[in-house]
Each structure stands twice: as structure tokens, then as C-alpha cells.
């Protein structure tokens, strides 16, 4: 029962993390920078893995898609690949988890389902590591340019998509670890049940005594003692 509850918790945590990781791909604000005037913000620059945009004070946005994948910087290509891999691994991990959970009717025996659940945990951990690496690589590029005094171009700060990606990656890793530990609960030997047959009497109704020739003869225990034995 405890193993089933832990698998359900692991599935909910892992799926939540996978949804968060998937939501980072179309999210706009991977990095953001603002130009402030004396009263209002005059312009907001932001970019993600697919385009770079600027929004003026009236709310009008002008975006420019990256012209060619081969002409992109290496860190953007790496982040794209890692995030797509994270989403794909999370999808397959959710499928394996459905087959490996005890509360489902597919997947075979309990031993086979335990192995499938452990495999789902490993896949979710890999998904979380890919997402964590991709977001950290992108954030490292932003912080390196921001604190470089020789970098004279537009400097950006960390966007909301990075924090969402880190949160989703953490949930995927936590859920995957719980799935991996659930196999140890399934491998525990079942407890042996003992039936209680009631209390037995101290003296049986018939007592056997060995004879001279190895035979046994029976006597009544009431005849072994006379009435003076109880005085």
C-alpha cells in the first residue's frame, strides 16, 4: 500500500515537472533587459531560444526570428537540443510510469512492473538533468556577459523561463528518485501469516508410558494419583 502511494506521488511530481519543462520552450522571457526613462519604461528587450524582440512603452512588439540554425551561437543550439531532449524523455518516462505503476492493470507481474517503474524513474532523472543543464548553460552565458566590463553590447538579466525550467527539472529529478526507490519496496519478501489454533491443555487426556519391550501402554491420568496426593 505504501509502495502504491509513493508511486502515485512520484507520478504526479514527475508529470508536473515535465509540464513545467515543456512550457519553457514557447515562453518568451528567457532573458530580458529594460531601458528606463524618467517616468516610464521606454523599451523592453527580451529573447528566447527562437527569436529576439523589443517592446516599446505603448506595448507594441517588434520581433525578429533567428535567421538560420547553423548561424546561431553554440550555446543556443545546445540549449535547444537539451530542452527538446528533456521534453522527449519526459514523454517516454510518463508512458513507462503508467505501465509500471501498481495501480494500473497493464505491465505484467508485480516484479516486471517494478522494473518498468524503475526505468521510468531513470528516464525522468535524465529529463530533469537535460533541462537543468540547458537552463544553466543559458544562464551562465547571460551572467558572464552581464559582469564582463569589456562587453559593450546590450546586457540582459535572467528571465522567468529559466526559473520555470529549473523548478520543472527539480520536480522531474525528485519524482524519478522516488520511482527508483519504489523497486526496493516491491522486492521486500511478504510477511508470513501464522494461524492461531487456540490454547492447548497442559495434560492430555491419555498419557503414554513406554513398556519393557518398547511398546507403549496407555493409562488414565486420574488413576496415577490417589486421593491422598492432593492433601
Helix, strand or coil, per DSSP, at residue 35: strand
Class of domain 1-28+69-185: mainly alpha
Q: Give the pLDDT confidence of 24-72 residue by residue, as tens digits.
A: 998 889 999 887 755 666 788 889 999 888 888 777 888 888 878 787 8
The pLDDT of residue 201 is 47
The torsion angles phi and psi of 143, rounded to 5 degrees, stand at -70, -35
The torsion angles phi and psi of 49, rounded to 5 degrees, stand at -80, -5
The pLDDT of residue 207 is 47
The torsion angles phi and psi of 53, rounded to 5 degrees, stand at -140, 165
Rounded to whole angstroms, the Cα distance separating 176 from 51 reads: 33
DSSP single-letter state for residue 171: H
Q: Which is it for the CA torsion 109, 112, 117, 118, positive or negative? A: positive
CB contact at 8 A, 58 and 43? no
pTM of this structure: 0.74
Helix, strand or coil, per DSSP, at residue 32: strand
Q: Give the pLDDT confidence of 150-186 residue by residue, as tens digits.
A: 888 888 999 999 999 999 999 999 999 998 887 775 5
DSSP single-letter state for residue 151: -
Rounded to whole angstroms, the Cα distance separating 26 from 165 reads: 12
For the cut 70, the answer to whether the pLDDT of residue 141 exceeds it is: yes
Mean pLDDT for 204-228 is 50
Q: Where are the domains of the chain?
A: 1-28+69-185
Of these ranges, 10-24, 62-76, 179-193, 200-214, the one predicted with the greatest mean pLDDT is 10-24
Looking at every residue in the chain, the average pLDDT score rounds to 80
More confident residue, 103 or 204: 103
Q: Give the pLDDT confidence of 67-95 residue by residue, as tens digits.
A: 787 878 888 999 999 999 999 999 999 99
Give the residues across from 188 on adjacent strands. none
- The closest alpha carbon to 48, from 134, 175, 144, 118, belongs to 134
The pLDDT of residue 68 is 80
The pLDDT of residue 158 is 92
Amino acid at each position: 500500500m505504501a509502495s502504491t502511494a509513493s508511486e502515485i506521488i512520484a507520478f504526479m511530481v514527475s508529470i508536473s515537472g515535465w509540464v513545467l519543462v515543456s512550457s519553457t520552450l514557447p515562453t518568451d522571457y528567457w532573458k530580458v533587459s529594460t531601458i528606463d526613462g524618467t517616468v516610464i519604461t521606454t523599451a523592453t528587450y527580451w529573447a528566447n531560444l527562437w527569436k529576439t524582440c523589443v517592446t516599446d512603452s505603448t506595448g507594441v512588439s517588434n520581433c525578429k526570428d533567428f535567421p538560420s540554425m547553423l548561424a546561431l551561437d553554440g550555446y543556443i543550439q545546445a540549449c535547444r537540443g537539451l530542452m527538446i531532449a528533456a521534453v522527449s524523455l519526459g514523454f517516454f518516462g510518463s508512458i513507462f510510469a503508467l505501465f509500471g505503476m501498481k495501480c494500473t492493470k497493464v505491465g505484467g507481474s508485480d516484479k516486471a512492473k517494478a522494473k518498468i517503474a524503475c526505468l521510468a524513474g531513470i528516464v525522468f532523472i535524465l529529463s530533469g538533468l537535460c533541462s537543468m543543464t540547458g537552463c544553466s548553460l543559458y544562464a551562465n552565458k547571460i551572467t558572464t556577459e552581464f559582469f564582463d566590463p569589456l562587453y559593450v553590447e546590450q546586457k540582459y538579466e535572467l528571465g522567468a523561463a529559466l526559473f520555470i525550467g529549473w523548478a520543472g527539472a527539480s520536480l522531474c529529478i525528485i519524482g524519478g528518485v522516488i520511482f527508483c526507490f519504489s523497486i526496493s519496496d516491491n522486492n521486500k519478501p511478504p510477511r508470513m501469516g501464522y494461524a492461531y489454533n487456540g490454547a492447548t491443555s497442559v495434560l492430555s487426556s491419555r498419557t503414554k508410558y513406554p513398556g519393557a519391550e518398547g511398546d507403549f501402554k496407555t493409562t488414565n491420568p486420574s488413576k496415577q494419583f490417589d486421593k491422598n496426593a492432593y492433601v
